[in-house]
Amino acid sequence: MKEISLDDLQESVKDRKAFNKLEDYLMICCAFLDFVEGVKPTRIVSPSHTNYIFYQYSEEFKHNITRPLNSNLFIESKKDFKDKFGRFISFLDLVERYNDKVSNRKSVKQYIDSKEINKIVYTIQQSIGSIGDSFENPNQSRKRIGQLFENLVKLIIQEVGIECEPRTVSLPIPGFPGYEMSYELDLVFSRNKAIITSETKYIHPSEVVGSVKTTSKDRIDKVFLDKFLLNKLLEKNIPVIAIFLHDVQRAKRGKSIFGINSTFKRNHFLGYTVALNRLDGVYYVDPRPEMLINERLKEQISDFQQFLIKDLWVLSNL
């Protein structure tokens, strides 16, 4: 059997016909982990944050360096990942059956406590991101990586029985009859299967808008603005949530280029909350440490697992 090359992985990420089901994400992640275990690109530990690692590719790929990978979440073993992915799919089936009551079942307490949901989602998306980092021009893949994260979240939500699709709406501009503003929404989800369709003109009261981004850097203002504009132009309260993968980037620390910087703009986040509106939920697969200890942030920001097993059901029942 031919060994998978980095060129093969790049072509797979670019394939617009792929990634229609969660198994496609399993395949690309396993292929990347197989590549890492076989080719063994240089593994670098951040000297400033030792729980973050990088992979550096060969000269053929310009010695490109991957994004920082949180080793507390990133599963480096292909076998370990496949085992955990199997448990993840089984758990999604339980979530579909029991909805927000799933966390009350004693049989899943250990699984929920393990936070494996965050680990699976993080490993999948960061594997794709790391493949994207191997391109000669990172801009070639940046948009595609973001699209694949949106799609991954959509497929997970659909897997637990919730209707979920991207949508473009034409918003009427009050006071200007006949004028409309086209607006693209990453995801719209609802438990009412009879209502949600990609052709729906506006947003039904039972629907929730989701903004899905790999990072909040340079995007946090748009998420708050989305809710503000939707509320203003549709003249009603539209539930809007945000789902982010992480908020870290590589940075120079002393003489090392393998330091870590947070890209989370805490004061902007709190400022938009006061000046515009509070979001109906903010979720991170890899939350920053300050989000877990800062009282003002803790009351607004949770992890992705909390969204999937609890808040998703509360929101879709509003």
- Written as one string, the DSSP assignment of 140-192 is HHHHHHHHHHHHHHHHHHHHTT-EEEEEEEEEE-TTSTT-EEEEEEEEEEES-
Residues 6+ apart with CB under 8 A from 225: 276
pLDDT of residue 205: 81
pLDDT in tens, 263-274: 999 999 999 999
pLDDT of residue 2: 65
The reply to whether the predicted model has a pTM over 0.85 is: yes
pLDDT of residue 201: 61
Residues of the chain with pLDDT under 50: 1, 194, 196, 198-199
pLDDT of residue 179: 92
Task: Report yes or no: 88 and 275 within 8 Å, Cβ to Cβ.
Answer: no
pLDDT of residue 199: 45
